Amino acid sequence: MPALRHIRLQLISRPLPADADLFNFADNCAALVSVLVETDDVASRTALCERLLQSLRKLRELCDVDLPPDLIAQLIMGEKMNSCVPDCWQDTVTQVDYALALTQAVMGGTLPAHVAKELTGLLHDMVWLLAEFVK
């Protein structure tokens, strides 16, 4: 568990660089939610959720910004024929909004423990799909 604690502290305390791009924020969201699923401590869960909210909000902002040429090149090189998300979720902003809402629900602390656990799992899967979709 010391390794998880170290990773958790790094994710909570170290901000992403000012020049972080869409891919960096997608990866950061995936890392945060992966650690969140494994965290039972209320204070750590809250801190992870707060960081996840920050990263998701920044990701949402970046969805509306024109991509720099190097990211466009990465997207073209990694282009897949089949999307990892259903047709009704092809809008990145909608996916981010869903993840934001789930994060707020999990962070609220008012859900029964079993519901919070299930929603955290759903949040994990949603964020991983989002990160894959963005890339």
Contacts of 132 (CB under 8 A, 6+ apart): 84
For the question of whether the overall pTM of this predicted structure is more than 0.75, the answer is yes
Q: Which helix (H) or strand (E) holds 50?
A: helix 42-63
| 46-97: pLDDT as tens digits | 999 999 999 999 999 888 776 667 766 766 665 555 555 566 666 788 889 9
- Alpha-carbon 79 to chain mean position: 21
